[in-house]
Structure 1
Amino acid sequence: MNQRPLLLTQGDPAGIGPELSLRAWLERHQQSLPPFAILGDPDHLARVASGFGWTVPIAPVEPGRIRSVFPDALPVIPLSVQVSASPGRPDAANAPSVIESIETAVRLVRAGAAAAVVTNPIAKHVLYEAGFRHPGHTEFLAALASEGASEAYHPVMMLWSEQLAVVPVTVHIPLSDVPSALTTDLIVRTGRIVARELQDRFGIAHPRLALAGLNPHAGENGAMGAEDGAVIVPAVDILRAEGIDVAGPLPADTMFHARARGRYDAALAMYHDQALIPIKTIAFDEAVNVTLGLPFVRTSPDHGTAFDIAGKGIARPDSLMAALKLAARLGQP
């Protein structure tokens, strides 16, 4: 199959991203990985490989040569800045390379040079020290996608595995802010995007959504909080009126056992941990972060930079390899 290649961003070079990227290439044949190129510093990647004693030929390439080079060498699209990072020692001096890697990947995939973007983890606090203005990785991608567009894109984070797919409606905000941030409009907008992309990207003809309640027992008819009836129920009614198969609000404590998971294709949770605890319990090493609602495919491993184990050779590449495989699947026309 004449498969378009993928673009893998470097992430924070002091984290586990570089070593996982190298390990993914080393396991490319055993794992039947699609061809990919890293947007990074070839010399830095060569130093990381050498530090582990890995034989990884590094080949600086133009995007058009990724497929031909990939079987025999790791294709790297060089950045304009050099990277001098030590494992486990985050440094704001590396922020320009992190940002350039993301910007270049988005530009190239939107130009048709690749099928999808796969992003290695970044450390937002490191970027903030260098003046990064976006709340996080996903918001930065949405801003890049919205440049020159008639309207801004609304990104939706899905954590996907073969066993479970979850979407947090509110994401990286304090738990105390969730009730005021959670609105009927936000739930409806999120549900529409999830249903559409399950159809268009995942090939599910009639997606089934399940909405978790905010409060214990989904509010128990108002006895444990009014938000479920006042905010979530109207959203369910609107989505159903639009022809979307949606159930809820459901008690979150009974939504994630095996029999319950068979009743829906994606669960919409009302806050971050309500979504991420079940999927990280069920599929910790295989879950993939997928950004819905963008004009291109973006996946990412479902873990962070892990500075505490960077350079020790114990980080597992399973989630990154799953992200590469899913990106290739979703990125095919």
Structure 2
Amino acid sequence: MSTSRVAVTLGDPAGVGPEVIVKALAALPQADRENFVVVGNVEALERANRVTGTELRFSATPGSGAIAVDEVAIDGSLPDIGKVSPVAGDASVRYIKRAVELAMSGEVDCIVTAPINKEAMNLAGHHFDGHTGLLAHLTGSKSSFMLLASERLNTIHVSTHVSLRTAIDRATVERVLATIEAGHRHFLRLGRKARIAVAGINPHCGEGGLFGDEDTKFLAPAVELARAKGIDVVGPISADTVYARAYGGAFDLVVAQYHDQGHIPIKLVAFETAVNVSLGLPIDRVSVDHGTAFDIAGTGKANHANMLSAIDYARIVAAAPRNVAA
């Protein structure tokens, strides 16, 4: 049992976040629950409690014996379940801001985030691409990296929530190298040196220039620079084979050049258990790798396996030293 303190943000209160949180916490031993604080609203958690039948107790009063809640005021009444709402979008951002304050002050060791709805967040006037951009903004970070982690396949992204055309432009030598280094440092922090493969950006890595020259102009030089720094990395390797090789055990981490190139294989092989990890921030953050699922919100049907995986990974990260020599 880890004694690290973890803050769990409620996510969009109109989605399945509250339900997967209460289900996951109910599945933990009582002693483990004492190490968690939910950043959100007692009312939303109690609503989820009724839907799921988990029979947990929540309290904003410390030392009450119930699951601790850091109560965050929302603008108006609790939003209806299953609907896109600017009130819910604003509330989800307020939860994240509060959790970042707790992490930056050292009151918690890691943040676990439940899903937010980007449309609702933007309707509320918070114009970010999601958690990744918002967390970078709140922590004053120039950029961050999205790592999707699962038991047999891990991938880190050069770019995420941008158009494919923009993603190609962002695959510079500097950004690809920085992504390789971020993944390398993360695995060192967890106690092992990763075998890293860089996925090509064009079909067959450009086939000698027939299908584009980005792989030879940008990706290959980044790999060489990383190898010169002692990083165990190869590539670029054609994306249509590298994930199968990694899943088979040849590599610990694949560098994906854009969102779908990394997300599709992970969601194919580990849809219910993969977690989203933010690297490059001054705080630790792990998230479920699914959305708000408005279509089933309020039914109690949401699967909490992903939230349990995020909680498990968060405790591992929280217990790991942050300052590891690369």
| Equivalent AA in structure 2 for residue 166 of structure 1 | T
Alignment check: 8 A CA contact 2:118 2:130 kept: yes
Give the 3-state SS of the residue equivalent to 2:211 in structure 1.
coil
**Which residue of the partner structure matches residue 324 of structure 2?**
none
Asked if the contact 1:116/1:298 (under 8 Å) is kept, the reply is yes
State the distance in 2 between where 1:126 and 1:321 align. 25
Q: CA deviation at 1:258?
A: 5.5
Q: How far has the Cα of 1:280 moved from its partner?
A: 0.7
Matched, 1:106 2:95: no
- Is 1:295 equivalent to 2:282 in the alignment? yes
Could you say which residue in structure 2 is the equivalent of 1:149? none
1:192 matched residue in structure 2: 181
Aligned to 1:38: 38
2-structure distance, mates of 1:157, 1:38: 23
Count of residue correspondences: 319
Indicate which of 163, 179, 183 corresponds to 2:152.
163
Deviation at 1:39, TM superposition (A): 0.8
* Unmatched segments (≥5 aa) in structure 1: 147-151
Q: Report SS of the residue matched to 1:210.
A: strand
Match of 2:268 in 1: 281
- CA shift for structure 1 position 35: 2.9
| 1: CA distance, partners of 2:272 / 2:310 | 11
Q: Is the Cα contact below 8 Å between 1:254 and 1:260 reproduced in 2?
A: no
Query: Among residues 110, 115, 120, which one is paired with 1:126 in the alignment?
Result: 120
Residues 8 and 119 of structure 1 are in contact (CA less than 8 Å); yes or no, is this contact kept in structure 2?
yes
Q: Does residue 203 in structure 1 map to residue 191 in structure 2? A: yes
Q: Please, what TM-score do these two structures have when normalized by structure 1?
A: 0.90
Q: Which runs of 5+ in 2 are unaligned?
A: 322-326
Q: Hey, what's the Cα distance between the residues in 1 that align with 2:171 and 2:58?
A: 47
Structure 2 Cα separation of the partners of residues 252 and 60 of structure 1: 48
Deviation at 1:293, TM superposition (A): 0.7
Change (3 A) 1:259 1:271: closer
Provide the rounded CA distance (Å) in 2 between the counterparts of 1:12 and 1:238: 42
1:47-62 to 2 correspondence within 5 Å? 47-62=47-62
Shift of 1:279: 0.8
Q: Percent identity?
A: 36
- Separation in 2, partners of 1:141, 1:259: 29
> Are residues 30 and 263 of structure 1, via their aligned partners in 2, closer, same or farther at CA, if it must alter by over 3 Å?
farther
Q: How far off its partner does 1:191 sit?
A: 1.1
State the distance in 2 between where 1:160 and 1:26 align: 24
Aligned residue for 1:75?
A: 68
CA distance in 2, matches of 1:284, 1:27: 20
TM-score (norm 2): 0.92
Cα deviation, 1:156-192, whole Å, max 9, x if unaligned, reads 0000011111012121112233322221111011111
Report the counterpart of residue 246 of structure 1 in structure 2.
233
Task: Find the residue that maps to 1:268 and give its secondary structure.
Answer: strand
- Counterpart Cα distance in 2 of 1:267 and 1:126: 32
Indicate yes or no: 2:81 matched with 1:116.
no
Is contact 1:44–1:83 with CA below 8 Å preserved after alignment?
no
The verdict on how the C-alpha distance between 1:33 and 1:248 changes in structure 2, with shifts beyond 3 A counting, is farther
Tell me the residue number matched to 2:131.
137
Given that 2:154 and 2:252 are in contact with CA atoms closer than 8 Å, whether structure 1 keeps it comes out as: yes
